Amino acid sequence: MTMLRLLSILLILAVPGCADSADEDTPSAASEAPAAAASDAASTAAAAVAAAKPAANPAPGPLPAPPDVAAAPADAVTTSSGLAYKVLTAGTGGEHPGATSKVTVHYTGWTSDGKMFDSSVTRGKTTSFPLNRVIKGWTEGLQLMVVGEKTRFWIPGNLAYGDTPRRPGAPSGTLVFDVELFSFEAAPVRKEPVVTSIPAPSDVGAAPGDATVTASGLAYKVITAGTGSDHPGATTNVNVHYTGWTTDGKMFDSSVARGQTISFPLNRVIKGWTEGLQLMVVGEKARFWIPGNLAYGDTPQRPGAPSGTLVFDVELFSFE
């Protein structure tokens, strides 16, 4: 199972100038000139410079929903899965991403009542992710696009987070996204043999006595000390290797077995990862015992998601 199963998505869809100081242009600065004429000239020049300065841009608010946000229009194309889409701006490329390609996009997402819940556009920064680490609607939809294209998607709940998401704060039901594809690259070919299964640690059944337990119930133990001193933040993008097991010792996912590290922002994963990775430093390897309420729950809504307490070995390579 891929990171889509592990990280509840990643949506991967997923986060945010200071004005120049006026002191340099005040009359008092000009009044320090040795003569009155020079003072008048300096004041006039200062006023001209101040007038020419652009005003600081306020933080952008929510982007208005498109008029067809409530339902796909008649000219939208609907696939066999129920995904609907409409090309807004034709692209310039000729190739399409694959199911595991890493894409770079701008996007904005709304619920069908017109409320914006996320946008890389308002943050002013594109986002990149592999297509096998996001909701099913994105995995399918982005493969229909070419570079330079902007498309609107109407993604039904069963291809997104469901009609009654278990993860607090996840948007429910049909979601509407405007997505612009800037570039993509194929997933790198593995250069190391694929490991089909990694044995569970001896303490997979329960956290040992020397593990640390946080107020949320997350338990962790440092396996290998790190070399860094700084910690990731709650929205930091991290690069890791990980393996996950259920408490009966069954491995359900592993980047180690796939032979490829994974990168993702910490506000786009299960709560136990968001909390736990912030405790780590670069070079560190830690084991986490994540209770169900910080993972996918004891009775996950999404078919195939692992239930109950999950155990992860995580190695942090870098973050930004």
Residue 118 annotated in active site: yes
pTM: 0.48
Res 38: pLDDT = 38
Q: Which of 163-172, 232-241, 291-300 has the lowest mean pLDDT?
A: 163-172
Q: Nearest Cα to 221, choosing from 85, 312, 114, 302?
A: 312
Question: In terms of domains, do 258 and 173 share one?
Answer: no
Same domain, 180 and 253: no
**Catalytic member of 68, 117, 198, 203:** 117
| Known catalytic residue at 317 | no
Do 265 and 2 form a contact (C-beta atoms < 8 A)? no
pLDDT for position 132: 87
CATH number of the domain encompassing residue 288: 3.10.50.40
Q: Are residues 134 and 7 in the same domain?
A: yes
Q: Is residue 135 annotated as a catalytic residue, yes or no?
A: yes
pLDDT of residue 300: 87
**How many CA atoms are closer than 13 Å to the CA of 308, on its beta-carbon side?**
10
Domain match, 217 and 253 both: yes
**7 & 144 share domain:** yes
Domain-located, residue 296 = yes
Would residue 47 count as lying in a domain? no
Q: Give the domain extent around 170.
A: 3-13+62-185
Stronger pLDDT, 138 or 11, i.e. the higher one: 138
Catalytic-residue membership of 161: yes
Q: Do 7 and 130 share a structural domain?
A: yes
Catalytic residue list contains 117: yes
Are residues 167 and 115 part of one domain?
yes
Q: From the candidates 9, 12, 135, 270, which is the catalytic residue? A: 135
Residue 139 lies in a domain: yes
Residues β-bridged to residue 86 = 152
Q: Is residue 242 part of a domain?
A: yes
Which of 85, 177, 312, 319 is an active site residue? 177
Give how many domains the chain has, as a whole number. 2
Residues 85, 129, 153, 161: which is the catalytic one? 161
Residues 161 and 279 in one domain: no
With a CB cutoff of 8 Å and minimum separation 6, the contacts of 272 are 218, 288, 290, 291, 294, 295, 310, 312
Q: Which of 150, 185, 220 is the last residue of a domain?
A: 185
Q: Which amino acid is at 179?
A: V
pLDDT tens digits for 24-57?
332 233 333 333 333 444 444 444 444 444 455 5
What digits encode the pLDDT tens for the residues 103-131? Answer: 999 999 999 999 999 999 999 999 999 99
The predicted-structure confidence for 170-208, as pLDDT tens digits, reads as follows: 899 999 999 999 999 976 655 555 567 899 999 999 999
- Spot the catalytic one: 12, 25, 85, 118: 118
**107 is a catalytic site residue:** yes
Numbers of helices and strands, H then E, in the chain: 7, 14
